[in-house]
A and B are shown apart, each in its own frame.
Chain A
Amino acid sequence: MSLAIQTVGLRHKVASSFEIAHLDMAVPAGSVYGFLGPNGAGKTTVIRLLLGLLKPDGGAITVLGESMPQHYASVLARVGYVPERPHLYPSISIEEAIRLHRAFFPTWDQRWADELAGQFGLDVTRKLSALSKGENGKVMMLLALAQKPELLVLDEPTDGLDPVVRRDLLAALLDYVTDREATVLISSHLVHELERICDWIGLLDHGRMVTQMPMQEFKNGLKRLRVGKAPLALDNAPFTLLSRERTHASGEQWLVQGWNPDMQEYLVSAGVALREVVDLDLEDGFVELLRSSRDNHE
């Protein structure tokens, strides 16, 4: 499996109380990678490190086969970036922003840019300072898509936008991904939104990667088990026990990863009485994973 983005042991100290510590990240080429995490987890910081906007304190970063930040100029020519906050010059019009942006990207598709402008309902003569948050978001998406990048990096692109705008943006994104087989790294704390479009998931919390896996595996393999008569230790369990908590005298609640129904046999052999298997949706899984990760670190 080739990787569009890879980090090994990435380190970056943001403040005395927060740092990205030994982050190992792998974004498969051609995937839509959902970069999840609560507010303040460090998602934007990681994205900036990937794009060479921040200097790492240690570790290795490889984007589209080239090391970063050394080769930032050649890498960024193949990357479409939509940051968390509008980063364009407010005093220029949409048309001028398009003219400026396309001068830097030889792969620019003006026809498609015009199409997107129509699709998004943008008046290109208007100044960026006069646009709403949603319209600014559409302009940034237009610029990122029209340059036909191999990698799209979207940092909370729909945050604070109304559902209509969110739908428009995600629709354009999906169209692009379908046509081009591009890789998309999209960060968000809106879990349900990513559930629809992502095929890989990475969960970041306090600068640490809690887990990263295919979406299906995440959704299907993460279960809450209600058990009884559980021994203190489990040997050679075929699943990953993320957390266990006592619910009543002889009962426990387990959060496991990598579960499939065949594993009931193991529980029987271990003397565990399986009472219930509860499916978790992405949001539940996200919350449970975070909780167990934080508990383990305490």
Chain B
Amino acid sequence: MFGAITAIQWKWSRGPALLATLIGFLIPVLSLQSARRALLTADEFVYIMQQFSIGYSMLAAGAGLVVALAAWAHDHRGRHVYALSLPVARWRYALMRFGAGALFLLAPTAGVLAGSLVVAAMGAVPSGLHVYPVALTLRFAFASGVAYAIFFAISASTAKTAGVILGIIGAFLLAQTTLAMLAVRYDLLSSVSTLIFSPPGILSVFAGRWMLIDV
């Protein structure tokens, strides 16, 4: 069953997954080329690498999102009639869908690892700096996993649940606007952002430094 689901889901996800793999390979290589092109001091080199680091987090989020949507899109289109008519418990079906998508995310992760290892092998790093291919790849793997899990969960939910989630986001924005109109000096947006992006927040893996080359 898992094999059959994986084969079909790969058909839907392979385009984005392979594209993400290519991008994942290119970001480290391009970042090193950019840094080397200008004759920079070590701190400027680190700064350039940091500029590229946003690419990793965006790629992780994007790959997770697309693979998650691809997992459920065709079932949504058919109103889940086919999936619900199969002789398999709903939770098992969802788990198999999740597992298939998680496998596909290994491709862009491998791309990042390959690109990072190429950078490490090129040996063009200023003295005092070190290359961290494995650490970066692990972070990418976890980040894409988190993004995938979040969007998978939302996509797997019913329209009612999705409406509730949107309602919560809408209520939050309304609360922020109301506070501003009442001249209450409490930044709800900052508080929530801190909660989400600071460890152990749900998006904390995306925040911070994604450094392939660092001191």
The answer to whether A and B touch in the complex, with CB atoms under 8 Å apart, is yes
Give the B-binding residues of A (Cβ under 8 A): 51-53, 72-78, 81, 83, 87-92, 96, 99-100, 103-105
B85 & A89 in contact (Cβ 8 Å cutoff) = no
How far does the alpha carbon of A77 sit from the alpha carbon of B92 in the complex, in Å?
15
Known: A89-B78, A91-B74. A100 touches B5 (CB 8 A): yes
User: Does chain A have a CB within 8 A of B186?
Assistant: no
Interface residue from B74, B84, B87 paired with A104 (Cβ < 8 Å): B87
> Shortest Cβ distance from A186 into chain B, in angstroms?
16
Q: Which residues of A contact B4 (CB under 8 A)?
A: 99-100, 103-104
A103 & B87 in contact (Cβ 8 Å cutoff) = no
In chain B, positions 1-42 with a C-beta closer than 8 Å to chain A are: 1, 3-5, 7-8, 11-12
Q: Which residues of B contact A90 (CB under 8 A)?
A: 74, 77
B87 & A100 in contact (Cβ 8 Å cutoff) = no
User: What does the 1/0 interface line of B54-93 toward A look like (CB < 8 Å)?
Assistant: 0000000000000000000010011001101111110000
Give the A-binding residues of B (Cβ under 8 A): 1, 3-5, 7-8, 11-12, 74, 77-78, 81-82, 84-89
Query: How would you classify the secondary structure of chain A's contact residues: helix, strand, loop or mixed?
Result: loop
> Shortest Cβ distance from A156 into chain B, in angstroms?
14
B82 & A53 in contact (Cβ 8 Å cutoff) = no
Q: Which residues of B contact A83 (CB under 8 A)?
A: 81, 85
Query: How would you classify the secondary structure of chain B's contact residues: helix, strand, loop or mixed?
Result: helix
> Shortest Cβ distance from A165 into chain B, in angstroms?
21
> Shortest Cβ distance from B97 into chain A, in angstroms?
13
> Shortest Cβ distance from B71 into chain A, in angstroms?
12
Interface residue from B7, B11, B77, B85 paired with A76 (Cβ < 8 Å): B85
B12 & A91 in contact (Cβ 8 Å cutoff) = yes
The 8 closest A-B pairs by CB, nearest first: A77-B87, A103-B4, A76-B87, A87-B81, A87-B82, A89-B74, A100-B4, A103-B1
Closest to B86 in A: A104
B87 & A73 in contact (Cβ 8 Å cutoff) = yes
Closest to A51 in B: B85
